[in-house]
Amino acid sequence: MTALARPGFGTALAVQVRVVVSLMLREMRMHAKHSRLSYLLEMLEPMLQLTMMMTVFSAIGRQADFGTSMLTFLGTGMIPYFTFLHISSKAMTSLRGAGLTKGVPLVKPLDLMLARSFLETLQLAVVAILLFSFIHIVMGVPEASPIQPLKVVSAFLVITITAIGVGIVNGVIGAFFRLWAVVYGVFGRSLLFLSAVFYVPDYMPTQIRDWLVWNPVLHGVEWFRTGFYLTYPSVILDKGYLLSWGVGSLFLGLILERALRRRRAAAR
């Protein structure tokens, strides 16, 4: 009997892409079908949060720590922060909901995770473009247009990779500890105050900087901002540290997901 030839890499990759794209389209249809308003609010959360912070800071008369526009300064902190928070949360909950893929032979838990993560990435990219275009064109703030777009895109991509890796690790942990999603949710929200969203880390006392520097999200925010401000103070920025977090967490997450796949299925 002639053995069936295994599909080539190109064929397997094409199938993988079709599966992920199909899942992305399904996710969009499901969100739109169940509640278009909640879907819209979820997409616009960074803008709503930015509006709330602008209102508070305007009321107390606070100025931007750097640049001429408080709105631009906060926006360059909010976008990378919410990119990490949303994508890592989506990746985590996707692995917890992987039981939905049992009846579909070609769909694996990682496919669902990738589909939701990529969809969230595209949505946040659109939100970022709309936000900074509005500030630049409608409000007439020149510094809302990136001076070095490549730095902005690079920071966004590395933050996305880090978020996916952290999300996979949390998804595996959450399969065995049901309250982990709540713990991570609280922790993720607290990162708002530790990630330089509304301040410049280089202006902080040395004792505080020495602790803040361990937060990878802070480096993502700093990297993102250097694409908007030519003379932004970024002494503590360590791109290699953030890249290490991204590659390391993704590698660890994939290993844990693969090694504990059967145990996770039994735990559900």
If you write DSSP's letter for every residue of 199-268 in order, what string do you get? S-GGGS-HHHHHHHTT-HHHHHHHHHHHTT-TT---TT--HHHHHHHHHHHHHHHHHHHHHTHHHHHHH-
Domain ranges for the chain: 19-263
Contact 223, 155 (CB under 8 A): yes
Per-residue pLDDT of the chain (268 residues; tens, 9 = 90+): 445 455 565 666 676 677 777 777 776 676 656 666 666 666 677 778 788 888 888 888 788 888 888 889 999 999 999 999 989 988 888 766 555 555 555 567 777 788 888 888 888 998 899 999 999 998 888 888 999 999 999 999 999 999 999 998 988 888 788 888 888 889 988 998 999 998 999 999 999 999 999 999 999 999 999 999 989 988 899 999 999 999 999 999 889 877 776 665 555 5
3-state secondary structure 173-185: HHHHCCCHHHHHH
Q: Which two tokens stand for residue 263?
A: 């145990």
Q: Which two tokens stand for residue 257?
A: 């997901």
Q: Which two tokens stand for residue 256?
A: 């844990």
Q: Which two tokens stand for residue 93?
A: 């909950």
Can you tell me which residue has the tokens 């949710």?
A: 185
CA 166, distance to chain mean position in Å, is 10
**According to the model, what pLDDT value does residue 41 have?**
67
- Angle, CA 199 vertex, CA 193 and CA 205 arms, to 5°: 90
Dist. CA 96–CA 98, nearest whole Å: 6
Other CB atoms within 10 A of residue 98 CB: 23
